[in-house]
Amino acid sequence: QSVLTQPPSVSGAPGQRVTISCTGSSSNIGAGFDVHWYQQLPGTAPKLLIYSNSNRPSGVPDRFSGSKSGTSASLAITGLQAEDEADYYCQSYDSSLSGYVFGTGTKVTVL
């Protein structure tokens, strides 16, 4: 059972903005541990999308942005494109579990 909660699905039309929430607790996000985001396209391995709350690795479009506040974090996708249809996961570290934790995952559908 994951300790980071995400909505199961979000959808939007091409060009729209969608956001994905990641809710944690005082032992992970609220304790100050960074949040990272991954994109998993169908049938492929996950890929790092955002690291340390709001930083993009080289090659990730600036349409993707991340933020963190309190015990939650968010991923925003602006100018939604068909190629953004994928599963998205947040991840942090949990001091109570002494290990890394992933979110429950969110499927993004482009209408």
Partner 1 sequence: EVQLVESGGGLVRPGGSLRLSCGASGFTFSNAWMSWVRQAPGKGLEWVGRIKSQTDGGTTDFAAPVKGRFTISRDASKNTLYLQMNSLKTEDTAVYYCTTVSGGSHYYWGQGTLVTVSS
Closer residue to partner 1 (CB): 13 or 99: 99
Place of tokens 């059972």: 1
Residue 36 interacting with partner 1 (CB under 8 A): yes
Closer residue to partner 1 (CB): 3 or 18: 3
Strand order through the sheet with 72-77: 18-23, 72-77, 64-69
Which residues, 40 to 59, sit near partner 1 by CB under 8 A?
A: 40, 45-48, 51-52, 57
Contact 106, 20 (CB under 8 A): yes
Which residues, 78 to 107, sit near partner 1 by CB under 8 A?
A: 87, 89, 91-93, 97-105
Contact 74, 66 (CB under 8 A): yes
Report the distance separating Cα 94 and Cα 31, nearest Å: 8
Coil/strand/helix, residue 18: strand
| Minimum distance, C-beta of residue 55 to partner 1, in the bound complex (Å) | 9
Residue 7 interacting with partner 1 (CB under 8 A): no
* Count of residues in contact with partner 1, rule CB under 8 A: 27
Closer residue to partner 1 (CB): 64 or 102: 102
